[in-house]
Structure formats: structure tokens, C-alpha cells
Amino acid sequence: MRLFIQLFLLYILALSTAAQAQTTAATLLPSKEEHSKMVAEFQAELNAEYKDASRSPLAVAVRNEFAGLPFFPVNYAACVQARFVRDSTQTPFVMQTSNGRKPLYRKYGELHFSFNGLPQHLTVYQSLSLQRTTGYEDYLFVPFTDQTNGHTSYGGGRYLDLRTSQIKNGQLILDFNRAYNPFCAYSSAYSCPVPPAENRLTVAIEAGVKSDH
């Protein structure tokens, strides 16, 4: 009887722990109102960067006329909760760039999520040079393409920036409303990482920065 009670208590504890983990995961997504505010702040910050001569990829003539980037309408459905799988076994590799530059990256992990009811996954990378740069030690990089590229978004793909601190209990909020264009979309003078084949999504992500054309 004592053994039965002990096993029953362990079973109850396991159920409680699982329920707590599920509750934690379920509360990661912001409300629709909170999300709209967060996206508006992101768009304002990005527009400010492109207007700033010290940070903007825009030519002087274009920057002087700059009134803001074209964005898809805020898409709450494009803010998804992803399961993060750490992968520290991969060796550093040279990521392909638009001009032949050879920056070293390493695979940091994978994000598994659902979009429009379809399972998707993206690889998360970490730049070895940024890892040694003050303020960017925890910077993570997700270059990707989707079915909007070359149509309503830039043909060369788009980027998402993440931080390791955003990963909580093996979960992470992946908000495609924060997807932005590489600087190569505005000037060939820049060297931009090309999204690897493993990050080519099979769905259309109508969120984030649109194409200028």
C-alpha cells in the first residue's frame, strides 16, 4: 500500500509539473493589443534607423526623401510560438554572402512551429564575430525565404534577429512582423548573408517589411 501511495504521489507531481510547463508555454504569446503596440514600436525604430545617416543603408538622395518603409499590415497570426531545440554539436561553417565574403557562423539550434496549420522549421545561427562583440554576445540570426519573396517581399529573403534570453523553457516567440530586409535590398555595396536552403519556408509570410518595388 505504501508503495502504491508513493507511486500515486509521483504521478500527481508529474501531472502538476507538466501542467505548469504547459501554462508557462501558453502565456508566452502577447495579447493582440500588446502585440500591435510592440510591432508599432519596432516599425518606428526601424524607420528611425533608415532615416539616420550613420546607420541607414539608403543613398543620400533616397534618404532625404525617406518617409518610412513599406510594411505588411500587422498580422497577429504571424506571431507564433516555436519549440526551440538546441544543437551545439555543429562545427562553424562559412555562410554564403551576396559578394563572396566568408563570415563564420555556427548552428545554434532549430525552431519548430506551425504556420497556417502546416508544420515548419527554421535553423537559428550565431555569428562567431558578433559573439566576440560587446553587446552582441547573445545575438542570434534567422535568415529565411518564403513564398512572398520576389513578389510582395524582397527576392533575396529577409532576416529576423533574436536573443538567447528570449528562449524560455524551450519555447520562443517568433514574430514575423519583425522580419526586415538585408541592406543588399537597398545597395549592392553591402555584403549580406544568403538564407541557407534549410531556411526556405514553403508558406507565404505576409508580415514584416515588404518590397520597395
- Tens of pLDDT, residue by residue over 153-171, are 999 999 999 999 999 999 9
| Predicted confidence (pLDDT) at residue 143 exceeds the cutoff of 90 | yes
Is 127 inside a domain boundary? yes
Is 20 inside a domain boundary? no
| DSSP type of residue 213 | -
Measured between alpha carbons, how far is residue 89 from residues 3, 86, 99, 140 in Å?
A: 41, 9, 28, 17
| Predicted confidence (pLDDT) at residue 5 exceeds the cutoff of 90 | no
Bridge-based pairing state of the strands 104-115 and 139-144: unpaired
Is 160 inside a domain boundary? yes
Tens digit of each residue's pLDDT (9 = 90 or more) over 130-140: 999 999 999 99
Is 119 inside a domain boundary? yes
- Domain region containing 112: 31-199
Tens digit of each residue's pLDDT (9 = 90 or more) over 62-89: 999 999 999 999 999 999 999 999 997 8
**Alpha-carbon distance 172 to 162, whole Å?**
9
pLDDT, position 2? 52
Is 78 inside a domain boundary? yes
Model confidence band, residue 213 (pLDDT cutoffs 50, 70, 90): low
Give residue for cell 529577409. Answer: 158
- Summary mean pLDDT of the chain: 90
Q: How many domains does the chain have?
A: 1
Model confidence band, residue 3 (pLDDT cutoffs 50, 70, 90): very low
Is 145 inside a domain boundary? yes
Is 52 inside a domain boundary? yes
| DSSP for 50-89, written as a single string | HH-TTT--S-HHHHHT-----BPPP-GGGEEEEEEEE---
Is 141 inside a domain boundary? yes
